[in-house]
Chains A and B, each alone.
Chain A
Amino acid sequence: MSGTLTIFRRELRSYFATPVAYVFIVIFLLMSGAFTFYMGDFYERGQADLQPFFMFHPWLYLFLVPAVAMRMWAEERKSGTIELLLTLPVTLWQAVFGKFLAAWAFIAIALALTFPIWLTVNYLGDPDNGVIFASYLGSLLMAGAFLAIGSCISATTRNQVVAFILTVVACFLLLLAGFPLVLDVFHAIAPQGVVDAIAGLSFLTHFTSISKGVIDLRDLVYFVLMIGVWLYATAVVIDMKKAA
């Protein structure tokens, strides 16, 4: 466990040692604000909730989370530090998990910095803070799932740009798995059961239901499983590269 913690601390500090952290946080806050007020009709709706704020999170994450995830392993490969890291007395799991947690904590910090909008809505009206809490939880879980996918793809390459683009594509497909864009393809080649299963993988469906304030165990399990499976895949990819 101490190995995970040491790697977690190092990684989290390294985000703030480079401009990555500040650029990410500023862009995230600006864009989430802009989307909420201009596209989400925050005021015009006349309702005291954060629905228009959370509505755009999946689309923000689609580009911003892969940008955080792309460096996770690709950079270690490029600079050769992966050889240092994986010959220190830490298990592969500790390294994968420590790095993931650091990136996730970093996004959590960015998300927490959106608190002024929560203060605003509480000042303007009397929102259901339970729903808002659930939405924050859902948003964080979804970011974690995006990150885990990015972690796995980042482990396959030493090129961060490739990692970024592939992660965006993978996240986009999973985001829209419940929509005709993706489902129509599978309708043509797979039986209905498979199509339904794929539809059930959609990020958007699960996120929307959590952000309505209903914390369903199935949605939580979905995101936790998603994170677990992709992190496992990360470890498998790194192990395969080691034996290749």
Chain B
Amino acid sequence: MIETRQLTKRYGDFTAVDGISFRVEPGQVLGFLGPNGAGKSTTMKMIAGFLAPSSGGATVAGFDVETQPMQARRALGYLPEGAPSYGEMSVREFLGFVADVRDLGQDLRHRRLDDAIGRLHLEPVLEQSIDTLSKGFKRRVGLAAAILHDPQVLVLDEPTDGLDPNQKQEVRALINSMARDKTIVISTHLLEEVHAVCTRAIIIAGGRVLADATPAELEARSRYHQAVSLTAPDLQQAKEALALVADVASIEVDPQDNRITAFPKPGRSIFVAVGDALKSRNIAVRELALEPGRLDEVFRTITQGAGGTEART
């Protein structure tokens, strides 16, 4: 479990993190979203005990990170921003060092090392020095170090940054496989990642929490939520048909791919009505889809709208 209470970090006059409170339970994967400089990393550094909060506090697995730092650190697996590691060491030496600092017993050490190395597919580079590895491997070495002691709580700062799509997929699968009994917080720029791994998302900007909801709830705030989009050979005909559906509020055409999107009036559902209208007029469509809502649009609206102060849930 992770809990923060009015966590605040000030640098002189600048407030990087401004009274952030949340609570994450085991089994939850919390996604931390926000523009660059929003305070994501600073918040994570405070939870990990690397930075001391200016005011407020945080607990990890019930241990206060300031007054019980050793217990909190033992319960925590932390991947710092940029996945730093000692470049002159080989992967095996580095993971061995982390295992020794964590004081895993001889038996456990072997088992945990094998497990972490296997999960992150590090076998081919075990004897290479970390400096010579690609960005993707470096990130995976950092992840292996974070999960080495099978911690109850994981804080991962941009775990998939620098990975190729296949590796991203694998790391997401890894996070999902650990999600059942652990408390996990990840930060990311990638909205697709929120869908793939997170059970809950917090959007922060300017050091404040602007939204705290499930990915589906966030999508529901999108103006695309419940909209219907389609492509048709005869654009004009299709547009005219849509305009006659009672609950359609507006129609937009994407100039790039000629995709037509019909937006419903608030609270109404238009999917069936649109289908019927097209069918009754015998208009051919290549494709017809009900939009779940677009996270990127919600993200933009929340982080740019209202100067980043309103829209609190």
Contacts and interface: CB of A to CB of B under 8 A. Distances in A.
A2 B105 CA distance: 12
A152 to B, nearest CB: 20
Contact of A84 (B11, B84, B88, B102): B84
Contact of A14 (B70, B86, B102): B86
B97 A6 contact: yes
B80 to A, nearest CB: 4
A18 B50 contact: no
A17 B145 contact: no
Nearest to B52: A243
Interface string A166-177: 000000000000
A87 B80 contact: yes
Contacts of A243: 51-52
Most buried by B among A3, A17, A81, A88: A88
B82 interface: yes
B309 to A, nearest CB: 27
A149 interface: no
B86 A81 contact: yes
A144 B221 CA distance: 63
Interface in A79-98: 79-81, 83-84, 86-91
Interface string A67-89: 00000000000011101101111
Interface string A186-217: 00000000000000000000000000000000
A99 B274 CA distance: 70
B2 to A, nearest CB: 14
B223 interface: no
Interface in B66-106: 70, 73-74, 76, 78, 80-82, 84-89, 93, 97-98, 100-103
A1 to B, nearest CB: 11
Given A17-B89, A89-B74, A91-B70, A6 B100 contact: yes
Q: Bin chain B's interface residue count.
A: 20 to 34
B82 A80 contact: yes
B50 A83 contact: yes
Given A83-B80, A242-B50, A244-B11, A88 B86 contact: no
Given A18-B88, A83-B80, A243-B52, A89 B145 contact: no
Given A83-B45, A243-B52, A89 B102 contact: yes
Contacts of A13: 89, 93
B186 interface: no
A242 B73 contact: no
B51 A242 contact: yes
A8 to B, nearest CB: 11
Contacts of A89: 70, 73-74, 101-103
B302 interface: no
B81 A87 contact: no
A87 B78 contact: yes
Most buried by A among B74, B81, B88, B101: B101
Contacts of B103: 2, 89
B85 A84 contact: yes
B110 to A, nearest CB: 17
Contacts of A83: 45, 48, 50, 80-81, 84
Interface string B20-64: 000000000000000000000000010011111000000000000
A7 interface: yes
Contacts of B48: 83, 87
B84 A79 contact: yes
Interface string B295-310: 0000000000000000
Interface in A1-57: 2-3, 6-7, 10, 13-14, 17-18
Given A87-B73, A242-B51, A7 B82 contact: no
A10 B51 contact: no
Given A84-B145, A91-B70, A242 B86 contact: no
A97 B48 CA distance: 22
Contacts of A90: 101
A87 B97 CA distance: 14
Contacts of A81: 84-86
Contacts of B82: 80
Nearest to B157: A83
A244 B42 CA distance: 12
11 contacts: A3-B101, A6-B97, A13-B89, A17-B129, A79-B84, A81-B84, A83-B45, A89-B74, A89-B101, A89-B103, A243-B52
Interface of B: 11, 45, 48-52, 70, 73-74, 76, 78, 80-82, 84-89, 93, 97-98, 100-103, 129, 145
- 4 A-B pairs closest in CB distance: A80-B84, A83-B80, A243-B52, A17-B88
